[in-house]
Structure 1
């Protein structure tokens, strides 16, 4: 996680993020001081820039003051939204969906990932406003937890787009990749990859005291700081945005083409949801990854001066906070795209509201929900349950696909 040493407007360490978490307060350019053992992983390699005194004297008092106020407030907002939305999603899935199918398994893992992610934000918020006061163990654990769930949340969103592609475009409700066992295996693989990506945090992240009595939590790669910084940034740009976004473009564009060609009932709503999923991912994540990439170019001396560096510092703080809103928005978008889940959510809310007023009224929705849970219909992003059957009729040469009978549809919008 990028953290600023807020106690000194001239002395900035490049605290390499636990994964690539952009600046909780973006690092400042170096000072005229030569790198010590504590800041050998500086955002700008001090020795590399010793001949650029003017740039190295760049002060960022205003950037740090802005970060001390903006980041803790925004992190608190994201924490509240993400905690509430994902807890609600988790409760509904665990209580009302006993027989979870593929998309619901991915939704469950996405909710867990988002919850673990937002739990780390109060630690970083306090660290920015003050300094790291939680000790060495939590420094390493919180950093690793952040990295794991940063990636796993994005990966599970990609898994959901793949699942809808197999269901709608391939028209194979019982495709060999859409079994419960395969979905659990894919979910386990996502967690394994996210864990592997967090290994640098497990190894290199530790507490550093600078100045005396002020502690910061960041990764120190020693004399290889610049190489590691560039590697982790480009890794984040690639795995955390570019590849998932290209996958979503491919899967949802194919889904959209099927909707336009077959013109099923509810086509307009289905297309709007499809576009919304892609646009939301792009709007939340592209500005942050672009700013992160520009910081890498600045580090490579492709362009930039002190003023550019200051602007990028502001941009990185703002775009990072916007990107983190995905923890609250993702559950809303991906759960309300399913008619079946909306039914479960209505049952849950009705049960909560009526429990104290008329307990007997709450039993009817529960019964309805139990019946809905036994239905074998596919979860629908399109709101149409006959879409797989109609698509299958267009591809009769795909083995036994045409023999698959459509599942019983849900009732109601």
Structure 2
């Protein structure tokens, strides 16, 4: 769950009830106690504003992506199925933001059941959103580098299994939230929602932070660097129309992921070192608290930016978006009970403006079709 304005600036164990920072170190390590009044005051102002902004922007962008995908792509390619699942994941993620915002300003007022549900939803979609970003890059890699015809039934079935595996893995990662997260009442009568690991708190915190650094950042980043670097080599060799734009887009996807997630994961790693007493004093603890709140908020904006980067940067999606906006404007200009928005096929067929830039998605599809046609030609000649 998010850091929130808590004396324990961890993604797994927020407690808003005290102005004292208390590390429960491993067995024989000295406990560090620091006053956290300024950190709490900053968080109660900063975090609700950011969470609300993420909710508004993330909901708008991902709902628009869902409408375009559901209305204008009835026969979806695999990359569009990945984008559809990513949009659903982002929407479920931003839905949790108002709950955390309210709990920061006041306290947890939604009861024990919603505490567990919101925490599990947060964790599942935190990871699934990142995993689907990796799946999109994998899809482009297979289409462009290996010219794999992904519309074959066998290949489509394997990709659907991959989508199911992503959701299953994200669900498995959320098991600690299912088990340990609960509401706790403090001496002042306030209720707070956080994970209580009992006597093994430090071990669990270190494990979950390591898991987040590895599964939520390092492995996806390495996969994206590998996939897009191989894609770049193919684009340079084939020199298709719009090669420069496609290369810049590939670089932008990797750079955006790195810039959004690296500061947060670095701060999480430094908190682990602080827990292990590798370094630390109250001044460093305060600085990491502020940094955690800022970098975590920056990372959460991924659910607002990814719809733009991964969908509307494609010429195909830009045409779909233009068709949707034209239909909506026409409906508002001439409203009537007998009128409705045009069908997806008729509206998309009216979009005659052709893009002079080849996107990576279109190049991959053409590569796969050419490979499949060559295979059929060779079989017929034999």
Q: By the TM > 0.5 criterion, same fold?
A: yes
CA contact (8 A) 1:249 1:278 kept: yes
Change (3 A) 1:46 1:306: farther
CA contact (8 A) 2:5 2:43 kept: no
Equivalent position SS for 2:192:
strand
For 2:178, which of 202, 210, 221 is the aligned residue? 202
Alignment of 1:249-268 (within 5 A): 249-268=225-244
Alpha-carbon distance between aligned partners in 2 of 1:404 and 1:319, rounded to the nearest angstrom? 52
Name stretches of at least 5 consecutive residues in structure 2 with no aligned partner.
352-357, 378-382
1:287 is aligned to: 263
Deviations 1:85-130 (A, max 9, x none): 0000111111111111100000000000000000001101111111
Alpha-carbon distance between aligned partners in 2 of 1:45 and 1:385, rounded to the nearest angstrom? 51
Change (3 A) 1:219 1:341: same
Deviations 1:149-202 (A, max 9, x none): 000000000000000000001112247698332222111110000000000100
Q: Tell me by how many angstroms 1:345 deviates.
A: 1.2
For 1:85, which of 61, 68, 87 is the aligned residue? 61
Alignment of 1:219-368 (within 5 A): 219-358=195-334, 363=342, 367-368=346-347
Alignment of 1:110-129 (within 5 A): 110-129=86-105
Alpha-carbon distance between aligned partners in 2 of 1:288 and 1:253, rounded to the nearest angstrom? 24
Alignment of 1:161-180 (within 5 A): 161-174=137-150, 179-180=155-156
Alignment of 1:172-191 (within 5 A): 172-174=148-150, 179-191=155-167
Change (3 A) 1:390 1:123: closer
Equivalent position SS for 1:356:
helix
Change (3 A) 1:341 1:16: closer
Equivalent position SS for 2:96:
helix
1:141 is aligned to: 117
Alpha-carbon distance between aligned partners in 1 of 2:21 and 2:282, rounded to the nearest angstrom? 10
TM-score normalized by structure 2?
Answer: 0.88
CA contact (8 A) 1:337 1:382 kept: no
Alpha-carbon distance between aligned partners in 2 of 1:390 and 1:355, rounded to the nearest angstrom? 38
Change (3 A) 1:366 1:311: same
CA contact (8 A) 2:96 2:118 kept: yes
Alpha-carbon distance between aligned partners in 2 of 1:96 and 1:389, rounded to the nearest angstrom? 22
Alpha-carbon distance between aligned partners in 1 of 2:19 and 2:223, rounded to the nearest angstrom? 35
Deviations 1:275-312 (A, max 9, x none): 11001100000000000000001100111211011000
CA contact (8 A) 2:5 2:41 kept: no
**Which has the larger share of helix?**
2
Over aligned residue pairs, what C-alpha RMSD do you find? 2.9
Equivalent position SS for 1:216:
strand
Q: Does 1:17 align with 2:17?
A: no
TM-score normalized by structure 1?
Answer: 0.81
Q: Does 1:154 align with 2:126?
A: no
Q: Does 1:369 align with 2:348?
A: yes
Q: Tell me by how many angstroms 1:403 deviates.
A: 2.1
How many residues get paired? 367
Alpha-carbon distance between aligned partners in 2 of 1:300 and 1:78, rounded to the nearest angstrom? 33
Name stretches of at least 5 consecutive residues in structure 1 with no aligned partner.
7-11, 32-42, 373-378, 393-399, 406-413
2:380 is aligned to: none
Change (3 A) 1:206 1:144: same
Change (3 A) 1:196 1:370: farther
Q: Does 1:45 align with 2:25?
A: yes
Q: Does 1:62 align with 2:38?
A: yes
Change (3 A) 1:71 1:370: same
